[in-house]
Amino acid sequence: MQEKLDEYILSHISPEDDYLYRLYRATQINLLRPRMASGHLQGQLLRMLCQMIRPQRVLEIGTYSGYSALSMASGMGEDTELVTFEINDEQEDFTRPWLEGSPFPPKINMVVGDIFSILPQMEGKFDLVFIDANKRQYCEYLDLVLPHLNSGAYIIADNTLWDGHVVDPAYDNDPQTKGVRTFNDRIATDPQFEKIILPLRDGLTIVRWLK
Q: What is the rounded CA–CA span in Å between residue 157 and residue 54? A: 18
Q: Which of 6, 7, 100, 114 binds ligand SAM (CB under 6 A)?
A: 114
Residue 145 in contact with ligand SAM, rule: CB under 6 A: no
Please identify, using beta-carbon distances, which residue of 91 and 150 lies nearer to ligand SAM.
91
In the chain, helix, strand, coil percent, each to 5?
A: 50, 20, 30
CB of residue 210 to ligand SAM, shortest distance in Å: 26
Residue 67 in contact with ligand SAM, rule: CB under 6 A: yes
- Length of the chain equals 211
Residue 72 in contact with ligand SAM, rule: CB under 6 A: no
Q: What is the rounded CA–CA span in Å between residue 111 and residue 66? A: 12
Residue 88 in contact with ligand SAM, rule: CB under 6 A: yes
Which among 149, 155, 131, 120 is positioned nearest to 49, based on CA atoms? 155
Which among 11, 130, 27, 126 is positioned nearest to 72, based on CA atoms? 130
Q: What is the rounded CA–CA span in Å between residue 143 and residue 116? A: 10
Residue 23 in contact with ligand SAM, rule: CB under 6 A: no
Q: Which of 10, 26, 31, 36 binds ligand SAM (CB under 6 A)?
A: 36
**Stretch in the footprint of ligand SAM (CB under 6 A) among 17-25, 131-139, 162-170, 173-181:** 131-139
CB of residue 61 to ligand SAM, shortest distance in Å: 6
Q: Strand, helix or coil at 116?
A: helix
Residue 143 in contact with ligand SAM, rule: CB under 6 A: no
Please identify, using beta-carbon distances, which residue of 49 and 87 lies nearer to ligand SAM.
87
Q: Which of 16, 45, 49, 62 binds ligand SAM (CB under 6 A)?
A: 62
Residue 104 in contact with ligand SAM, rule: CB under 6 A: no
User: In 104-123, which positions are buried (b, 16+ CB within 10 angstroms) versus exposed (e)?
Assistant: bbbebebbbeebeeebeeee
Q: Which residues bind ligand SAM (CB under 6 A)?
A: 36-38, 61-62, 64-65, 67-68, 85-88, 91, 114-116, 132-134
